[in-house]
Structure 1
Amino acid sequence: MTVSRLHSTFVALVCAAALLVSLPAFAGHNEEAPAKQAIVLAAFGTSYPEALKSILNIKTRVEKANPGTPVKLAFTSSIIRNIWQERQGDAAWQKANAGVPKDVLYVKSPLATVADLQNSGYKNIAVQSLHVFAGEEFSDLTNMMIGLRSIRALKAKSVPFKQMRLGRPALGMPGDVYPYTDDITVAVKALKADVDEAKKMNAALVYMGHGNDFFSTGIYAEFQSEMQKAYKHPVFVACVEGYPSFDDMLPGLKLAGKKNILLKPFMIVAGDHASNDMAGDEDDAWKVMLTKAGYKVKTDLRGLGMVDAWADIYVKHLKDALAQKHMLP
């Protein structure tokens, strides 16, 4: 086969694949009743019962905005899910933590949660990411949704889904339909109270983000820049994994000239990372390292999900997803 024919074949295959992905998940036009709709909130998750309140606050606000539509929780972290699965057989733990909702104790992956809903007759499903940015977890979630939406059957009634929708993370995602820079602007406004608190303390505001080692986390640096421009105050964001790291942050923090620091998690929940890596007493905890560097540090173990303005970002992104004719991306 010539190079020209190989190129033509490759282009044809790519176009065919793109067409398949862009098709609605259900091609039938004779369905008498609208498909039952459900919502899945896909969070990284947490094993800390106290930290659950951040996720549950978002769930409550989503339910209020979508009355009559069932809202289910799913955790994208297999490590976190395994911890909850072990607790399902631990009667003593359950007795000591009686306030944990059943939909958390028996939480499943997004795939299993969607499958359960489909098995219960729901063919119109919207999955809203509760991640901060479009990194590894959101990429996997997107690929899962594309795979489910592409399922076909000989009979239209046998196609498992009529519509699949995916809501973008808080800081947006690549694409021109919803510019991520607009999402950053909204996120900056949502955290104004944090800056006001830091100003009262005459402190620099430092956030610990999770980050990851597989995707660029430069959006954290961009968010930091927009916070500083909006509020004319030293605000810094560094990550547990990826860029910018704790060490990357230190030179700018030193130049800011503040001796006080307000240290907060830039994560949906204040779980293991916030409690140990950020506010713990070990030598490698950020609070300890900053204190040794000469700063007076105040920590705030409050996940972003507890900030109503931040929780409402997901409510809005879900609304955008439900309004789309086809799933994004």
Structure 2
Amino acid sequence: MPRRIQIVVISAVLSLMLFIPALPSQARDAEKQDKTAIVVASFGTTVPRAVEAINNIVDRVEKAYPQTEVRITFTSNIIRSIWRKRQIEAQQWLDQGIPEDILYVKNIISTIGDLREEGYRNIIVQPTHMFYMEQSHDLNSYVRALGSIETMKERWRPFDSVVMGRPALGMPGARYNYHEDVAAAVQTLAADAQLAASEDAILVYMGHGNQHWSTGIYADTQREMRRAYPDVETFIGVVEGHPSLQDVLDQLDATTRKKIIIKPFMIVAGDHAVNDMAGEDGESWKSVLEKSGYEVQPVLQGLGSNDAFADIFVDHIRDTARDHNLVVQ
């Protein structure tokens, strides 16, 4: 064989040998580029025992989508700053059972940035907020901004899609009827109604509310609770905005029962539940209701600890994935 042909053949063989081993690695990289990651976005809490409710939601999501990467972020700047200070004495908190991803929790930009560095180009952000109010609005602004980044060359775009699911009780828009989301959420609260019925008590929920947004979501939910559980008198008030505790007291005037089961209408039984709802000072809901002649039994358990309620977010992730042609499994 002429020398020139030998050189060409050897060169071709060497090139093939170099190319073949690269195929599996390239295939893995391409496969990872197509994968979708889930970010569970919670308002957060600083109360260690309340973390369990957030962990339960994350656990339910991971169980439903075991092959999909799941991360957590807190949307509250104040709560993240408190956990950042606690990192100075990290072992103390870890010894109390606080997971590392809570102790070292990051904001939404850092969390999504980490996923991008690891090769994920499709992100579903699932808020664990109750309804689409200030926190969800601002979170959606981040999500839309990150998902809209354009580059001169298409292949350098950081993400193919960054999208957000809807909160527990839904959000404005024509795609999903929030009344149906409210009805689905109410179905998960049967145990609360049963507890109140067994105690011949009124069921009072304390939500967070918002001073900047006015919605009828709490009135809608209260009405749906009474429709679903007609034997239980249910009232929902909020810490901020309306309906206030005074609004609840005004409605209670029409009742004859004198015992109240009071629970947080929040994902976690955090600071608001411990202090504003069940605290011993004179301004807490428990104290005010007791002064009004009611026997009050607080239940310090967030809705995130309720498996059926936590699964609402699992379902909303599935809806979002379907709407955007993403794969979660």
Is the TM-score greater than 0.5?
yes
Report the Cα distance in structure 1 between the residues aligned to 2:99 and 2:141, rounded to whole angstroms. 29
Report the Cα distance in structure 1 between the residues aligned to 2:282 and 2:92, rounded to whole angstroms. 30
Q: How does 1:142-157 map to 2 (within 5 A)?
A: 142-157=140-155
The answer to whether the Cα contact below 8 Å between 2:143 and 2:164 also exists between their aligned partners in 1 is yes
The answer to whether the Cα contact below 8 Å between 2:94 and 2:100 also exists between their aligned partners in 1 is no
The answer to whether the Cα contact below 8 Å between 1:165 and 1:326 also exists between their aligned partners in 2 is no
Report the Cα distance in structure 1 between the residues aligned to 2:38 and 2:71, rounded to whole angstroms. 6
Report the Cα distance in structure 1 between the residues aligned to 2:122 and 2:56, rounded to whole angstroms. 24
Following superposition, the deviation at residue 252 of structure 1 comes to: 1.2
Report the Cα distance in structure 1 between the residues aligned to 2:263 and 2:64, rounded to whole angstroms. 28
Structure 1 residues 114 and 95 mapped into 2: Cα distance closer, same or farther (>3 Å)?
A: closer
Find the counterpart in structure 2 of residue 305 from structure 1: 304
The answer to whether the Cα contact below 8 Å between 2:90 and 2:103 also exists between their aligned partners in 1 is no
Report the Cα distance in structure 1 between the residues aligned to 2:92 and 2:79, rounded to whole angstroms. 16
Report the Cα distance in structure 2 between the residues aligned to 1:32 and 1:270, rounded to whole angstroms. 43
Report the Cα distance in structure 1 between the residues aligned to 2:251 and 2:125, rounded to whole angstroms. 38
Report the Cα distance in structure 2 between the residues aligned to 1:95 and 1:142, rounded to whole angstroms. 31
Find the counterpart in structure 2 of residue 130 from structure 1: 128
Following superposition, the deviation at residue 257 of structure 1 comes to: 1.6
The answer to whether the Cα contact below 8 Å between 1:217 and 1:244 also exists between their aligned partners in 2 is no
Structure 1 residues 91 and 176 mapped into 2: Cα distance closer, same or farther (>3 Å)?
A: closer
Could you tell me which amino acid in structure 2 is paired with residue 271 of structure 1?
G
Report the Cα distance in structure 1 between the residues aligned to 2:311 and 2:171, rounded to whole angstroms. 17
Following superposition, the deviation at residue 95 of structure 1 comes to: 5.8
Structure 1 residues 118 and 95 mapped into 2: Cα distance closer, same or farther (>3 Å)?
A: closer
Find the counterpart in structure 1 of residue 324 from structure 2: 325
User: What's the TM-score once normalised by structure 1's chain length?
Assistant: 0.87
Structure 1 residues 199 and 166 mapped into 2: Cα distance closer, same or farther (>3 Å)?
A: same
Could you tell me which amino acid in structure 1 is paired with residue 179 of structure 2?
T
SS in 2 for 1:89: helix
Report the Cα distance in structure 2 between the residues aligned to 1:160 and 1:207, rounded to whole angstroms. 43
Following superposition, the deviation at residue 215 of structure 1 comes to: 0.9
Following superposition, the deviation at residue 325 of structure 1 comes to: 2.5
- Percent of aligned pairs sharing the same letter: 48
Structure 1 residues 179 and 152 mapped into 2: Cα distance closer, same or farther (>3 Å)?
A: same
SS in 1 for 2:71: strand
Report the Cα distance in structure 2 between the residues aligned to 1:104 and 1:310, rounded to whole angstroms. 21
Could you tell me which amino acid in structure 2 is paired with residue 208 of structure 1?
M
User: What's the TM-score once normalised by structure 2's chain length?
Assistant: 0.87
The answer to whether the Cα contact below 8 Å between 1:171 and 1:180 also exists between their aligned partners in 2 is yes
Could you tell me which amino acid in structure 1 is paired with residue 149 of structure 2?
I
Following superposition, the deviation at residue 83 of structure 1 comes to: 0.5
The answer to whether the Cα contact below 8 Å between 1:211 and 1:217 also exists between their aligned partners in 2 is no
The answer to whether the Cα contact below 8 Å between 2:222 and 2:236 also exists between their aligned partners in 1 is yes
Question: Alignment length, in residue pairs?
Answer: 296
Deviates more, 1:88-97 or 1:109-118: 88-97
Find the counterpart in structure 2 of residue 216 from structure 1: 214
Report the Cα distance in structure 2 between the residues aligned to 1:254 and 1:71, rounded to whole angstroms. 47
After superposition, give the CA deviation of every residue in 1:111-147 in whole Å (9 maximum; x if it has no partner): 2211111122111111001000111000001111111
Find the counterpart in structure 2 of residue 10 from structure 1: none
Structure 1 stretches of 5 or more lacking a match? 1-30
Following superposition, the deviation at residue 93 of structure 1 comes to: 3.2
Following superposition, the deviation at residue 94 of structure 1 comes to: 3.0
Could you tell me which amino acid in structure 1 is paired with residue 251 of structure 2?
G
Could you tell me which amino acid in structure 2 is paired with residue 313 of structure 1?
I
1:184 to 182, 185, 189: 182
Find the counterpart in structure 1 of residue 248 from structure 2: 249
Q: How does 1:89-100 map to 2 (within 5 A)?
A: 89-91=88-90, 93-94=92-93, 96-97=95-96, 99-100=97-98
Structure 1 residues 91 and 38 mapped into 2: Cα distance closer, same or farther (>3 Å)?
A: closer
Structure 2 stretches of 5 or more lacking a match? 1-28
The answer to whether the Cα contact below 8 Å between 1:35 and 1:124 also exists between their aligned partners in 2 is yes
Find the counterpart in structure 2 of residue 140 from structure 1: 138
Report the Cα distance in structure 2 between the residues aligned to 1:243 and 1:217, rounded to whole angstroms. 9
SS in 2 for 1:226: helix
After superposition, give the CA deviation of every residue in 1:217-250 in whole Å (9 maximum; x if it has no partner): 4201110011112211210000000110000111
